[in-house]
Structure formats: structure tokens, C-alpha cells
Amino acid sequence: MAAQPKSLPNLLIVTANFYEDISNALLEGAVDVLTKIGATFEIVKVPGVLEIPAAVSMAMAGMRNGRKNFDGYITLGCVIRGETSQYDVVCNESSRALMDITVQHNIALGNGIQTVENSDQAWACAKKDDKNKGGAAAQAALAMISLRKELGV
């Protein structure tokens, strides 16, 4: 019997546009990783990081209704500390919501939301030739897709 071909993963990338240039750089890193392995993906853009968990949740609801099926999710965005407590709210609430969704629904998620002190740190995280956190988020999502399959979930 011939071996079944390995199916390539299909992922949803959700990117926040609040710092659009930084998000686009993170996206470039993620797309590069996925393209190299031949994975398929779709990209949706939301206004900010707080909207990312809702977009993931909406995509999951669409799957339950027989719409598009995603093997995993990649979340990308940036939160730069400002002079108000808004930074803490955005960082904590988006992380908490994503973690809740991930654990409750056993999804494979690569979280590439960068929480930084300043623009220099943001760019260091975003650039493919520096820390390439977008690429790292894609690799994390792929690893979690593999783990979920291995564990039979």
C-alpha cells in the first residue's frame, strides 16, 4: 500500500494594523516560513491587538458552521508602551483571551504579538534579519499543529 501524501497545513494569520509597518514586517516573516514549506494560509487584518482574539473566535465559529477549516492560527501585532495604563490592558486582555481560546478549544496557535517598550524594540522583533518574531510565531503554530496530530486531538 502506498503511503498517503502528507497534507499541508492551512492556517489563518490574524494581524493587527495599529502599527501597520511593524505588523507588515511580522507578517513578512510568517509568510516566508509558511511559503517555504508549502502551507496554505489566509490573512485577515483587524484594527488592533484587542480585536485579534475576536477574529480567531469568529473563524472558529465559521468552521463549526461548515465554512473554512484552519489547522492553526498565527496572531501578529505590536503593543508599544505609552504614558497610560492602556498598554497593560491591551497586553493582558489580548493574551488572556487568546490563552483561554487556545486551551478551551485545543487550537494550534503561534502568538506573535509583540509587547515592547519602544519602537526600536518593536523593529528588532519584527525584522526578518533580526529576531524575526513573525517567523517564530509561524514555526510555533506549525509545531503545535504537529503536536495536536501526534496526541490525536
pLDDT tens digits, residue range 113-143? 999 999 999 999 999 999 999 999 999 999 9
Question: Per residue in 7-66, pLDDT tens?
Answer: 899 999 999 999 999 999 999 999 999 999 999 999 999 999 999 999 999 999 987 777
Question: Per residue in 80-102, pLDDT tens?
Answer: 998 888 999 999 999 999 999 99
| Nearest CA among 30, 43, 35, 42 for reference residue 111 | 30
Cell of 120: 526600536
Ramachandran angles phi, psi of 112, nearest 5°: -110, 30
Which pLDDT band, with edges at 50, 70 and 90, does 1 fall under? very low
CATH superfamily of 10-148: Lumazine/riboflavin synthase (3.40.50.960)
* Total count of residues recorded for the chain: 153
What is the Cα–Cα distance from 140 to 50, expressed in whole angstroms?
21
Phi-psi sector, 132: left (phi>0), alpha (psi -120 to 50), beta:
left
Task: Give the 3-state secondary structure of residue 99.
Answer: helix
What is the Cα–Cα distance from 57 to 144, expressed in whole angstroms?
18
Q: Which pLDDT score, from 0 to 100, does residue 68 have? A: 81
- Give the type of residue at 20: E
Cell of 75: 496572531
Question: Residue 50's CB: how many other CB atoms inside 10 A?
Answer: 19
Please report the beta strands in the chain, taking only residues with DSSP state E, as ranges in sequence order: 10-16, 40-46, 72-80, 109-116
What is the Cα–Cα distance from 99 to 107, expressed in whole angstroms?
10
* Domain extents in the chain: 10-148
Ramachandran angles phi, psi of 150, nearest 5°: -60, -40
